[in-house]
Amino acid sequence: MIKNTQKLACGLLIAGAFVSHSASSGHWQKEKNLQWGSHALVHAQHQHIEVEKQVLFNKDNSALLIIDAQQAYVPGTADFWPTLYYPQYPVPPQNIDHDILNKITRIATLAQGAKEAGLKTSITYEGFPEMHSPFITQIESELSETTQRFYKAYFNSTQEAPINNAMQQLLDNGITQIIVAGAETDVCVLQTVLGLKKMGFDVFVVSDAVFSTEVYTRPTFKRMQQAGIKLTKTDQILGALNGEEKIILSPRYGIQQRYNLYQGNRHKMASVTFNLDANNIKLAEHDNKEAIAYRARQWSNYVTYSFVPGSGMATFNISAEGKSYTAALSKPANLQSVSNINQVVKGMQQAGKNQAIISGVVSEKELINATIKLIEAGIVPVILEDNLMGKKMDPIHFLDTVYSLGAIPSTFKTTGYEMTQAIEFIDLSEDEINSVINMHNNSDTQTLIELMPALR
């Protein structure tokens, strides 16, 4: 994440969630049960949320990985890469994480604790040996002399052969628990811990020792929990390193663990928007419509100018009322205007796509029904939580329902970096690179994902 022009950037499903619909939508509820199967709904209603975990951390079974704790990723400093390369774009004041210095101190404390306990420690630098931002000095000073150091271009560290080999060696030596801290929470930390989980590690993310330009971390932490990754705090890890036999998991969310891991693939994605007409946008509900409007504009630019022509992304807009797509957003050349989710399923299957990236203006009923239909068809629903508004109520009140049913919590930034996968265009084809450049040239405002105004 060095230069922007070199990269692109279900809850508590209880009976009460449907009380408000019981009189008017009994037919819908019956149809939904028939489509999805009552077992899945009953299972979601009676979920168990783990509060604590019995643990044993020692040098024979545990290791520490600190990801990209580099000076370039500390907002508000002279070394922050958007400020360094794009000083004309101010950092929105609401984007400053006022706890970031404490988070850096906690990472340093973890490094010290791991050193004292004899745990193997590894760190990653995003970049190359000849071009990278230095590690944060406070953390660097606490690292053991035996710390393994790796450079990476891919956001998912496990895609780099030297790192993957080192992690596999840990597993081969019986080190199956890995403690993770660093940056950025919603990009390299997220993608790496999913990769580590896929390798077979029991992954513990230290939730108060990770940081990002995105201060709204809920979708990222929910996705980690959904993937079976343990979230805990620095004091809990340090206590366990000193002999405590259990840790408290925090934060915790009322969502089910997903049946399999999801990792984004731009070649399998379709953009699925709901009700993007002028009237629905005007009447939509959200606590921060200004921030949503910014992301909606930028996402439409990414899709229209970059991923449709470059990567063959399919696009759909669902409007049961048959209303026209808004003129305020870029309109993809291949946009299919449809009236229901069944048409989207059919279109995605014909296009060979199985990841539906969902945004727009949606009701609770529409989103739950779409999630059920998509999963039933073998398609993964991915919710751009920071690019979604609700009909009559903010979707924050019903998102956990669809997450427990298997939809993926995500954001524009997280999905954007899953699509590009690496810095320096190294994972993109020539056509995709040209499309990214075209997207930047056609966007009428700055396109740095890192500088979008904070959502919540």
Lowest-confidence pick of 38-47, 98-107, 161-170, 417-426: 38-47
Is the per-residue pLDDT at 112 higher than 80?
yes
State the residue range of the domain holding 233.
52-248
Query: What's residue 10's pLDDT?
Result: 28
**Average pLDDT of every residue of the chain:** 89
Cβ(324)–Cβ(277) under 8 Å? yes
Lowest-confidence pick of 71-85, 198-212, 343-357: 71-85
> Which residues fall within 8 angstroms of residue 426, CB to CB, at 6 or more apart?
153
Is the per-residue pLDDT at 17 higher than 60?
no
Mean pLDDT of 133-148: 97
Distance between CA atoms of residues 381 and 355, nearest Å: 6
Is 236 a member of any domain?
yes
Q: Are residues 382 and 347 in the same domain?
A: yes
Is the per-residue pLDDT at 178 higher than 60?
yes
Residues paired with 249 in a beta bridge: 232
Mean pLDDT of 150-161: 98
How many domains does one find in the chain?
2
Query: What's residue 47's pLDDT?
Result: 63
Q: Are residues 239 and 116 in the same domain?
A: yes
Residue among 397, 331, 404 nearest 362 (CA): 397
Among residues 220, 248, 276, the one where a domain terminates is 248
Q: Are residues 59 and 199 in the same domain?
A: yes
Is 73 a member of any domain?
yes
Q: Are residues 294 and 436 in the same domain?
A: yes
At 314-331, the pLDDT tens digits run 999 999 999 999 999 999
* Both tokens assigned to 256: 């089910």
Q: Are residues 39 and 58 in the same domain?
A: no
Is the per-residue pLDDT at 302 higher than 90?
yes
Mean pLDDT of 7-34: 32
Mean pLDDT of 45-61: 87
> Which residues fall within 8 angstroms of residue 123, CB to CB, at 6 or more apart?
65, 66, 67, 69, 135, 143, 147, 148, 149, 150, 182
Q: Are residues 316 and 427 in the same domain?
A: yes
Is the per-residue pLDDT at 30 higher than 50?
no
Q: Are residues 40 and 63 in the same domain?
A: no
Query: What's residue 267's pLDDT?
Result: 97
Residues paired with 52 in a beta bridge: 248
Query: What's residue 223's pLDDT?
Result: 98
Q: Are residues 19 and 104 in the same domain?
A: no
Residue with tokens 């939509």: 284
Is the per-residue pLDDT at 19 higher than 50?
no
Residue with tokens 């959502």: 455
Lowest-confidence pick of 45-54, 358-367, 384-393, 420-429: 45-54
Is the per-residue pLDDT at 49 higher than 60?
yes
Query: What's residue 27's pLDDT?
Result: 40
CATH label of the domain that carries residue 169: 3.40.50.850
At 67-92, the pLDDT tens digits run 999 999 998 788 999 989 888 888 88
Residue with tokens 């791991």: 114
Q: Tell me the backbone φ, ψ of residue 231, rounded to 5 degrees.
A: -110, 130
Among residues 248, 277, 297, the one where a domain terminates is 248
> How many CA atoms are closer than 13 Å to the CA of 319, on its beta-carbon side?
17
Query: Which of the 8 DSSP states describes residue 242?
Result: T
Is 367 a member of any domain?
yes
Is 253 a member of any domain?
no
* Both tokens assigned to 388: 């979604």
Q: Are residues 324 and 346 in the same domain?
A: yes
The whole-angstrom distance between residue 83's C-alpha and the CA centroid of its chain comes to 24
Is the per-residue pLDDT at 230 higher than 90?
yes
At 240-263, the pLDDT tens digits run 999 999 999 999 999 989 888 999
Is 430 a member of any domain?
yes
Exposed / middle / buried, residue 66 (Cβ in 10 Å: 0-12, 13-18, 19+): buried
How far is the CA of 89 from the CAs of 122, 170, 196, 299, 300, in angstroms? 34, 43, 35, 19, 21
pLDDT band at 428 (very low <50, low <70, confident <90, very high): very high
Is the per-residue pLDDT at 411 higher than 50?
yes
Q: Are residues 39 and 56 in the same domain?
A: no
Terminal CA-CA length for the chain: 24
Q: Are residues 217 and 323 in the same domain?
A: no
The whole-angstrom distance between residue 178's C-alpha and the CA centroid of its chain comes to 20
Query: What's residue 424's pLDDT?
Result: 92
pLDDT band at 449 (very low <50, low <70, confident <90, very high): confident
Is 27 a member of any domain?
yes
Mean pLDDT of 373-395: 97
Q: Are residues 314 and 240 in the same domain?
A: no
Mean pLDDT of 286-312: 94
Q: Residue 192: which H helix or E strand, with range? A: helix 190-199
Among residues 248, 274, 290, the one where a domain terminates is 248
Torsion of CA 49, 51, 56, 61, to 10 degrees: 40
Beta strands 52-54 and 246-248 are antiparallel
Is 285 a member of any domain?
yes
Is the per-residue pLDDT at 202 higher than 80?
yes
Query: What's residue 333's pLDDT?
Result: 97
Is the per-residue pLDDT at 394 higher than 90?
yes
Percent pLDDT > 70 in the chain is 89
Distance between CA atoms of residues 59 and 117, nearest Å: 7
Is the per-residue pLDDT at 360 higher than 90?
yes
Is 255 a member of any domain?
no
Beta strands 62-67 and 380-390 are unpaired
pTM of the model: 0.90
pLDDT band at 22 (very low <50, low <70, confident <90, very high): very low
Query: What's residue 445's pLDDT?
Result: 63
Residue with tokens 């039933």: 376
pLDDT band at 43 (very low <50, low <70, confident <90, very high): low
The whole-angstrom distance between residue 153's C-alpha and the CA centroid of its chain comes to 19
